[in-house]
Amino acid sequence: MFEPTDVTVVIPCMNEEGSLPGVLADMPAGYRVIVVDNNSVDDTADVARAHGAAVVQESVPGYGSAVHAGVLAAETEVVCVLDGDGSMDPRELPLLVTALEQADLAVGRRKTVRGNSPIHARIGNAVLALRLRTKYKLPVHDLGAIRAVRRQALLDLDVTDRRSGYPLQLLVLASKAGWTVVEHDVSYSPRTAGTSKVSGSVKGTVVAVRDFWKVLS
């Protein structure tokens, strides 16, 4: 059984000053938090510090760059990754952490209510998840925007994608390494402030899907 002090939550962020206070307020007691500021032009870093989070600056742009910087900075046995936009509930992280007692990687399946996510984003996610199930035999229906994993095992897996393809490459490498991967339903709501860098536009989604297909090719 993992203790709360065994867990660090990595939150990759770019311009999330409006959402971070709510996300950090709902963090499970005892969990350590690292906010990775990925070239924000707002007060993301100051807001994070004001709410008790450690801040790591990562100048190399990209979701994977921010996540990797946070994992390197963590010192606990378990790391979780959660978006900073308020769309997912940090109070559901303990479910994924507990799942690591029987699994190598626990990911969340976002239960989307109509209107929470644009249709182009839902289609792209569904197509890629189907590919993971058919080609890699992974029992997943989402790309794991929220996840829990043992830190050293993740580093040893050597995920190299530093862009949007990071979570997909993680799942592919986990399959190739013979990891046990489990998926649990998690709630999913509209972001609480700002605009998504990926699903907020068709262009953002197209760029992300292109990154994903590079991983699968």
Total residue length of the chain: 217
Contact 92, 163 (CB under 8 A): no
- CATH of residue 21's domain is 3.90.550.10
Tell me: the pLDDT tens digits for 57-74?
A: 999 999 999 999 999 999
Tell me: the pLDDT tens digits for 150-191?
A: 999 999 999 999 999 999 999 999 999 999 999 999 999 998
Tell me: the pLDDT tens digits for 79-130?
A: 999 999 999 999 999 999 999 999 999 999 998 655 556 777 788 788 889 9
By residue range, what is the domain housing residue 57? 4-216
In Å, the largest CA–CA distance within the chain is 45
How many domains in the chain? Answer: 1
Question: Which helix (DSSP H) or strand (DSSP E) does residue 216 occupy?
Answer: helix 202-216
Of 110-124, 126-140, 203-217, the range with the lowest mean pLDDT is 203-217
